[in-house]
Chain A
Amino acid sequence: MSRKPNSVCDKRVFNELFDLNSESLRNYLYYQCGDLQQAEDLVQDAFIKLWNNCKKVLFEKAKGFLFAVAKNAFYNQVEHQKVVLKYAQQTQKKSNIETPEFQMEENEFMAQLQEAIAQLPEGQREVFLMNRLDNKTYKEIAELLGVSQKAVEKRMHKALVKLRKTVKNI
Chain B
Amino acid sequence: MFEEKDDTIMARWLAGELTEAERAEFEASSEYEEYQRLAVGLKTFKKPEFDKETLRTKVWEKIENQKSKKVIRLRPLYYTIGIAASILLLFGLFFNTITYSTDIGEKRVVSLPDGTEVILNAKSTLSHKRFFWLKNKKVNLDGEGLFTVTIGEGFKVSTQSGTVSVLGTEFNVRARNSGFELYCFEGRVLYKNEMEQHEATLNAGDAVKLDGNILMEFKHTDKGPLWQTGSSRFINTELKGVMEEFEMYYEVSFKYSPDIIQGHFTGTFVHDDLELALKSVFIPMSIKYELSEDQKTVVLNAR
Residues of A within 8 A of B (CB): 15, 18-19, 22-23, 26-27, 30, 36, 40, 43-44, 47-48, 51-52, 85-88, 90, 109-110, 113-114, 131-134, 137-138, 150, 152-158, 160-161, 163-164, 167-168
Is residue B130 within 8 Å, beta carbon to beta carbon, of the partner chain?
A: no
Determine if B48 and A30 form an interchain contact, defined as CB atoms under 8 angstroms apart: yes
**Contact flag A113-B48 (CB < 8 Å), given A160-B35, A161-B10:** no
Q: Which of A22, A47, A86 contacts B45 (CB 8 A)?
A: A86
Tell me the smallest distance from the CB of B57 to a CB of chain A, in Å: 10
Determine if B59 and A47 form an interchain contact, defined as CB atoms under 8 angstroms apart: yes
Determine if B46 and A85 form an interchain contact, defined as CB atoms under 8 angstroms apart: yes
Find the A residue at minimum CB distance from B62. Answer: A48
**Contact flag A36-B48 (CB < 8 Å), given A48-B62, A153-B8, A154-B8:** yes
Determine if A168 and B48 form an interchain contact, defined as CB atoms under 8 angstroms apart: no
B interface size (C-beta, 8 A): 30
Determine if B46 and A157 form an interchain contact, defined as CB atoms under 8 angstroms apart: no
Tell me the smallest distance from the CB of A30 to a CB of chain B, in Å: 6
Is residue B251 within 8 Å, beta carbon to beta carbon, of the partner chain?
A: no
Is residue B98 within 8 Å, beta carbon to beta carbon, of the partner chain?
A: no
B-side contacts of A15, CB under 8 Å: 56
Q: Which of A85, A110, A163 contacts B48 (CB 8 A)?
A: A85
Determine if B31 and A18 form an interchain contact, defined as CB atoms under 8 angstroms apart: no
Contacting chain A: which of B36-44, B169-177, B202-210, B228-236? B36-44
Q: Which of A22, A134, A160, A168 contacts B11 (CB 8 A)?
A: A160
Residues of B within 8 A of A (CB): 3, 7-12, 14-15, 31, 34-35, 37-38, 41-42, 44-48, 50, 52, 55-56, 58-59, 62-63, 66
**Contact flag A43-B55 (CB < 8 Å), given A26-B50, A27-B48, A88-B46:** yes
Tell me the smallest distance from the CB of B185 to a CB of chain A, in Å: 76
Q: A88-B46, A131-B14, A154-B7 are in contact. List 14 more A-B contacts (CB 8 A).
A: A85-B45, A86-B48, A87-B44, A87-B46, A110-B44, A132-B45, A133-B46, A154-B11, A155-B11, A157-B3, A158-B7, A160-B14, A161-B10, A164-B31
Q: Which of B34, B45, B56 contacts A168 (CB 8 A)?
A: B34
Determine if B48 and A18 form an interchain contact, defined as CB atoms under 8 angstroms apart: no
Tell me the smallest distance from the CB of B51 to a CB of chain A, in Å: 9
**Contact flag A161-B56 (CB < 8 Å), given A110-B44, A156-B11:** no
Determine if B44 and A18 form an interchain contact, defined as CB atoms under 8 angstroms apart: no
Give the one of B44, B48, B56 with max A CB within 10 A: B48
Determine if B55 and A160 form an interchain contact, defined as CB atoms under 8 angstroms apart: no
Determine if B35 and A157 form an interchain contact, defined as CB atoms under 8 angstroms apart: no
A53 CA / B250 CA spacing, docked (Å): 73
A-side contacts of B8, CB under 8 Å: 150, 153-154, 156-157
Determine if A156 and B56 form an interchain contact, defined as CB atoms under 8 angstroms apart: no
Please list the 9 inter-chain residue pairs (A to B) with the smallest Cβ-Cβ separation, ordered nearest first. A156-B11, A153-B8, A153-B11, A160-B10, A157-B10, A157-B11, A87-B44, A88-B44, A87-B45
B-side contacts of A44, CB under 8 Å: 55, 58-59, 62
Tell me the smallest distance from the CB of A11 to a CB of chain B, in Å: 9
Find the A residue at minimum CB distance from B63. Answer: A51
B-side contacts of A85, CB under 8 Å: 45-46, 48
Determine if B34 and A23 form an interchain contact, defined as CB atoms under 8 angstroms apart: no
Q: Which of A26, A36, A157 contacts B7 (CB 8 A)?
A: A157
Determine if A19 and B52 form an interchain contact, defined as CB atoms under 8 angstroms apart: yes
A110 CA / B41 CA spacing, docked (Å): 7
Find the B residue at minimum CB distance from A89. Answer: B44
A110 CA / B63 CA spacing, docked (Å): 42
A-side contacts of B14, CB under 8 Å: 131, 156, 160
Tell me the smallest distance from the CB of B226 to a CB of chain A, in Å: 77
Q: Name 30 A/B residue pairs within 8 A (Cβ), A-sorted.
A: A15-B56, A18-B52, A18-B59, A22-B56, A27-B48, A43-B55, A44-B58, A44-B62, A48-B66, A51-B59, A51-B63, A52-B66, A86-B48, A87-B46, A88-B45, A109-B37, A113-B41, A113-B42, A131-B14, A132-B45, A137-B15, A138-B15, A154-B11, A157-B8, A157-B9, A157-B10, A160-B35, A161-B10, A164-B3, A167-B34
A107 CA / B46 CA spacing, docked (Å): 15
Tell me the smallest distance from the CB of A23 to a CB of chain B, in Å: 5
A-side contacts of B58, CB under 8 Å: 44
Determine if A163 and B59 form an interchain contact, defined as CB atoms under 8 angstroms apart: no
